[in-house]
Amino acid sequence: MAHPKRKTSKTRRDKRRTHYKAEMPTLAVCPNCGASHVYHTVCGECGYYRGRLAVEKAVDM
């Protein structure tokens, strides 16, 4: 099995890892209620997705 001849420096290691970063998800505005939600997901406020009711909200008592 191959072993490195020299220790990889912190700078060289970190240069390779520059792509591993968290990005903000793209938000959309719900046309039904106007709330913000993540693209391609059901609106958490009203339960609509692409103009249709996808999830009925339970009534809290």
Structure confidence at residue 20 (pLDDT): 82
Q: How many domains does the chain have?
A: 1
- 21-53 pLDDT, tens digit per residue, is 888 889 999 998 999 999 999 998 899 998 889
Structure confidence at residue 61 (pLDDT): 54
Q: Is residue 48 in some structural domain?
A: yes
Q: Is residue 36 in some structural domain?
A: yes
Give the whole-angstrom CA distance, residue 15 versus residue 6.
17
Structure confidence at residue 27 (pLDDT): 93
Q: How confident is the model at residue 56 (pLDDT cuts 50, 70, 90)?
A: confident
Structural domain boundaries, residue 36:
24-61
Give the whole-angstrom CA distance, residue 33 versus residue 43.
9
Amino acid in position 33? C
